[in-house]
A and B are shown apart, each in its own frame.
Chain A
């Protein structure tokens, strides 16, 4: 397939930033090509007229459901289990990197 390169390298860099992913220069080039190819393919959706069609948000016509306040939650986890998979915890809290610099 001939590439139109819908996504420029600058755009890939921006998307990587929004997605919190670090990419090498090589990756930026390669993903730009490949994702452009995918975007070219999905252009076939424009063969279908949809001006009067309402979007489908659910396939099985399900309704909103609510969990009652205070309802018993049998699946809440014990503290020790919640923290077992974390690499850095302190005083029953997760340790995260500082975001704001002083």
Chain B
């Protein structure tokens, strides 16, 4: 049977009707891993056990605790750490008939937007292996794009699902903060961290979210709001009012802008209405995010002392060290009001700004990243570059709203352009619905078929 490029949902259907077996799937993806992983460097660890018959393979970003399997967060601090338990997301997905196929590369501690800060080497962008895949969930995005996995799980603290999804040309969903449990995901910015799925297909993200989401007694910030049947709502008829804020298009590459405008034209033809809105400049979200995230990092990374597990603090590399120290500074006596408190206040303004905007529109559309994928090594030239690549993603993290990246075509360098669709808090349903309809209308411009010609069986 031809498996290449089939959606997770489709493979699951074939598995359930016994037209394909778990063994076949495992062998198929193991073969692809052997063929292409060397070139792309997406997997850090492969699980030893193939799944039980009836289970689907899934790959997780290596910051998810997976029982009995090494979990490194791409840092040598955790080089030999074997997870003693499953993260709630992993536990839930296992109950939904999946098994852990492998663990994917990320920027160490999820600090970055290129996957180059990994202590296990950079992941390469499948569209052009001289370029970065984006980050920090770069391994998950590249594995998805090259179909080394039908779907993967990542995490998004300040764009870490949407940035690599954008640069690798796949669908990546950052849910509402509190929609999915953070328990067992190596903590980075605890008030921002959002687990979410990536795939070539919107329906895969909808299905996986419905399995991942929901209240968890082990994460006090999860919501007890019921989880909607996302799959059933994908086809619902919706005519939406799309908000467009000029401030989200400042300093955006011309070709990226053009692709977004073309996508908007398609959405208008599908019957949606566009409305210009005024929103705070994303640079303020970037600043508030930077201060709050560094503060939370300094606290979360304080636990790594090499006593109970892992290596000692001398194993931290440059990016983690800088973030820990900056966070220590912004939380310290005398600077707390100037930085941390100020950022918390600006966070309140940004939350309010989105609330107001969503009184008027149903979704807000913007580019996911200001440019397409950059060359390996570019990030090192400018210390603040990575953060600035996430400037358009971070407003959604600061305000806790859901946002999805969908591919909208290739630029003249034949690199994917990503568009993000932001929604109201806990309204993943609407952004999945409009993304699904867009996929049906455009087949994402055959980008999957194009790339998989290169990554053939």
A residues at B contact (CB < 8 Å): 7, 11-12, 15-16, 18-23, 27, 31, 34-35, 37-39, 41-48, 50, 53-60, 62, 64-65, 67, 75, 77, 81-82, 84-88, 94, 96
Interface of B is mostly: helix
- Chain B contact patch, size range: 35 or more
User: Nearest chain-B residue to A22 (Cβ)?
Assistant: B314
If A21-B325, A59-B399, A75-B85 touch, does A86 touch B290 (CB 8 Å cutoff)? no
If A45-B284, A85-B82 touch, does A60 touch B400 (CB 8 Å cutoff)? yes
User: Nearest chain-A residue to B292 (Cβ)?
Assistant: A56
**Beta-carbon contact of B308 and A94 below 8 Å:** yes
User: Nearest chain-B residue to A51 (Cβ)?
Assistant: B345
Contact mask B177-193 → A, CB, 8 Å, 1/0?
A: 11000000000000100
Write the nearest CB–CB distance from B233 to chain A, whole angstroms: 21
A53 to B404, CA, bound (A): 30
Write the nearest CB–CB distance from A64 to chain B, whole angstroms: 8
A18 to B332, CA, bound (A): 10
Query: What are 5 sample pairs from A and B whose C-beta atoms fall under 8 A apart?
Result: A22-B314, A60-B178, A62-B178, A84-B82, A86-B309
Tell whether B342 is near chain A: CB-to-CB under 8 Å: yes
A21 to B349, CA, bound (A): 35
**Residue from B290, B309, B345, B346 in contact with A41 in the complex, judged by beta carbons closer than 8 Å:** B290
**Beta-carbon contact of B84 and A59 below 8 Å:** no
Tell whether B443 is near chain A: CB-to-CB under 8 Å: no
**Beta-carbon contact of B291 and A87 below 8 Å:** no
Write the nearest CB–CB distance from A34 to chain B, whole angstroms: 4
Binds A, one of B150-158, B218-226, B254-262, B270-278: B218-226
Contact mask B224-253 → A, CB, 8 Å, 1/0?
A: 000000000000000000000000000000
If A45-B284, A55-B348, A96-B307 touch, does A15 touch B329 (CB 8 Å cutoff)? yes
For A62, the chain B residues whose CB sits under 8 A away are: 178, 220-221, 223
Tell whether B374 is near chain A: CB-to-CB under 8 Å: no
Tell whether B81 is near chain A: CB-to-CB under 8 Å: yes
For B345, the chain A residues whose CB sits under 8 A away are: 50, 53-56
**Beta-carbon contact of B384 and A37 below 8 Å:** yes
Write the nearest CB–CB distance from B344 to chain A, whole angstroms: 4
If A19-B298, A56-B351, A59-B191 touch, does A38 touch B383 (CB 8 Å cutoff)? yes
A56 to B351, CA, bound (A): 8
For B398, the chain A residues whose CB sits under 8 A away are: 59
**Beta-carbon contact of A60 and B176 below 8 Å:** yes
A77 to B184, CA, bound (A): 13
For B223, the chain A residues whose CB sits under 8 A away are: 60, 62
For A75, the chain B residues whose CB sits under 8 A away are: 85, 218
**Beta-carbon contact of A35 and B325 below 8 Å:** yes
**Beta-carbon contact of B341 and A55 below 8 Å:** yes
User: Nearest chain-A residue to B320 (Cβ)?
Assistant: A21
The 7 closest A-B pairs by CB, nearest first: A59-B400, A85-B309, A55-B344, A56-B348, A50-B345, A42-B287, A34-B383
Tell whether B13 is near chain A: CB-to-CB under 8 Å: no
For A94, the chain B residues whose CB sits under 8 A away are: 307-308
User: Nearest chain-B residue to A6 (Cβ)?
Assistant: B329
